[in-house]
Chains A and B, each alone.
Chain A
């Protein structure tokens, strides 16, 4: 399936750079869609011109996971998750917050962790402590590279 990235969104936009959305280019608009500073409806040509109907549908499909994404842009695809716990155990925040639980491979022993497994699927809590959050964010990928089914992705890659 197509990955949610600015490039893939751009491919589906009108690519006319008409500036109606307030951005200089469609590419810039695509970036802001991913960072959720813009919404698809702001591209008027796409909404109104029927020749873009198919692209509009595909874009809406592609952007859907973003609606449930956490403030860090984390997107969880529960249907791909088997609850293996790799991400739970590898997340550096889980490790430092829970040295006797997650850090040594067990389920969380307190409520400060970010990732935990409920009913066999990963869920995110305390996202403000995620290393990708806030001003000093870094591109931590602890929960992405440890998941072979790509059940966790970040909108910004």
Chain B
């Protein structure tokens, strides 16, 4: 069975006598929650049956003048595609969490301006791994053991002590940095990137001299290097061009790749699907036919520009800053989600759907671009795909 608890999409999970094998606690929490929650459909404060809730959602969408769809990063590709079709038909807005996190990195990769690779290649070949502004031990608990540092790989048979080098660049120490052979704590990411570029070019940097020299020396000695960029890097970077320059320089020294540390299991899938249909990754307005940062979900909320929101598999009331999240309740909110959440408390229509990988099969695109197929484990609840299809056919 697959776990959709984070972007690792671990596919070696087994269930036996009520016990979950091989998943980390994050995955176990998701799987057990999915098995144990009894979540009932609601329409305008009344408990109803699922079909009735879907009908109510359809009515609200049909009556809407400014409609937005948000979330989608935890559901399979087919459901995402139908959601995009709904946004097109209603001339609505569509956005996911990538506008606030890894979207900029994914865009550079899709436009082939940054070289990326797959996690399996990293496992088989990488002898230099750098986590920059990420703490996978917390966010992606099995990332380090499955792909980057501890596993043996085709060309890395001797184990981590001899065969691999792990470095962490971050603003503070973390559990991940405790495991690394080198940790560099930086206050200013751009300054350190510039220092690395300088050293790679044989120049003396104005800051971080020793650390930059040590890292560059390591990279020169390695055969296959990879950098995982997390939220720390994303927010420390005002100019993506600087990162691109660094990666180009590192590629002059050795084979070097970049993979974003996205958290959601199918964020990249949404980005790729929207990219394939309109050439943009997120924050898209079908009415205006363009993407703009003012069409990101948080901007739309700030400006109180939407009257009805369809939220799929996300909990923006909990995840967005309070001033923005507090505006969600002003609109009609339709929520599709497996479990009760802060958003379900304020939603006008709640349609419980199955957890991807447990009650829903399909395909997802892992953050490194690899397509992962999976089957449903049990078929008890209705799926996001079913609900979205019903909506799409009705409008």
Are B19 and A104 in contact, with the CB atoms below 8 A? no
Question: Within 8 Å CB of A107, what residues of B?
Answer: 12-14, 21-22
B125 in contact (CB, < 8 A): no
A95 to B152, CA, bound (A): 8
Residue from B138, B141, B175 within 8 A of A83 (CB atoms)? B141
Tell me, yes or no, whether A41 is within 8 Å of chain B by CB: no
* Partner among A85, A88, A104, A117 whose Cβ is within 8 Å of the Cβ of B152: A104
A103 / chain B contacts, CB cutoff of 8 Å: 151-152
Contacts of B175 in A (CB 8 A): 148-149
- CB pair A84–B21 under 8 Å, yes or no, is no
Residues of B within 8 A of A146 (CB): 150, 160, 179
Tell whether, in the assembled complex, residue A118 and residue B159 are in contact, meaning their CB atoms are under 8 Å apart. no
Q: Which residues on A sit within 8 Å (CB–CB) of B12?
A: 101, 106-107
Which of A105, A116, A148 interacts with B21 by CB under 8 Å?
Answer: A116
CB distance from A88 to the nearest CB of B (A): 7
Answer yes or no: B60 CB below 8 A from chain A CBs: no
Taking a contact as CB atoms closer than 8 A, the residue among B21, B25, B138, B144 that contacts A86 in the complex is: B144
Q: Check A121 for interface membership: any CB of B closer than 8 A.
A: yes
B22 and A106 contact, CB distance less than 8 A: yes
Q: Which A residues are CB-close (under 8 A) to B153?
A: 104
A114 beta carbon closer than 8 Å to chain B: no
Question: What is the CA–CA distance of A117 and B142 in the complex, to the nearest angstrom?
Answer: 11
Partner among B20, B149, B150, B160 whose Cβ is within 8 Å of the Cβ of A119: B20
The answer to whether the Cβ of A22 comes within 8 Å of any Cβ in the partner chain is no
A interface, size bucket = 20 to 34
Which one of B21, B23, B141, B150 contacts A90 once the chains associate, using CB atoms below 8 Å?
B150
Q: Is the CB of A82 within 8 A of B25?
A: yes
Q: Is A157 an interface residue (CB 8 A)?
A: no
Q: Is B27 an interface residue (CB 8 A)?
A: yes
Residue B137 at the chain A interface, CB threshold 8 Å: yes
Identify which of residues 81-123 in chain A touch chain B, using a CB-to-CB cut-off of 8 Å: 81-86, 88-90, 92, 95, 99, 101, 103-108, 116-121
Residues of B within 8 A of A81 (CB): 25
Contact residues on B (Cβ < 8 Å of other chain), bracket: 20 to 34
- Assess whether A118 is in contact with B19, with CB atoms less than 8 Å apart: yes
Nearest CB on A from B344, distance (A): 25
The smallest C-beta distance from B119 to any residue of chain A, in angstroms, reads 10
* B176 contacts the other chain (CB 8 A): yes
Check B151 against A104 for contact (C-beta < 8 Å).
Answer: yes
Contact status A120-B145, CB under 8 Å? no
Question: Which listed residue, A85, A120, A121, A149, touches B146 by the CB 8 Å rule?
Answer: A85
- Chain B residue numbers with a CB within 8 Å of A121 are 25
Q: Does B20 lie within 8 Å of A105, measured CB to CB?
A: no
Distance in angstroms between the alpha carbons of A83 and B152 in the assembled complex: 19
Task: For residue A153, give the distance in angstroms from its CB to the closest CB of chain B.
Answer: 15
Q: Hey, which chain B residues are within 8 Å of A118, CB to CB?
A: 19-21
Residues of A within 8 Å of B138, CB to CB, are 82
Binding site for B on A (CB under 8 A): 81-86, 88-90, 92, 95, 99, 101, 103-108, 116-121, 146, 148-149
Interface contacts beyond A105-B151, A118-B20: sample of 18 additional A-B pairs, CB < 8 Å, sorted by A? A82-B24, A83-B24, A83-B28, A84-B145, A86-B145, A86-B179, A89-B145, A89-B150, A103-B151, A103-B152, A104-B152, A104-B153, A106-B12, A107-B13, A107-B22, A108-B22, A120-B23, A149-B175
- Which residues of B are interface residues toward A (Cβ below 8 A)? 12-14, 19-29, 123, 137-138, 141-142, 144-147, 149-153, 159-160, 175-176, 178-179
User: Can you list 23 contacts pairing A with B, beta carbon distance less than 8 Å?
Assistant: A82-B24, A82-B25, A82-B26, A83-B24, A85-B24, A86-B145, A88-B145, A90-B145, A90-B150, A90-B160, A95-B159, A104-B151, A105-B123, A105-B146, A105-B147, A106-B12, A107-B12, A119-B19, A119-B28, A120-B26, A146-B150, A148-B179, A149-B175
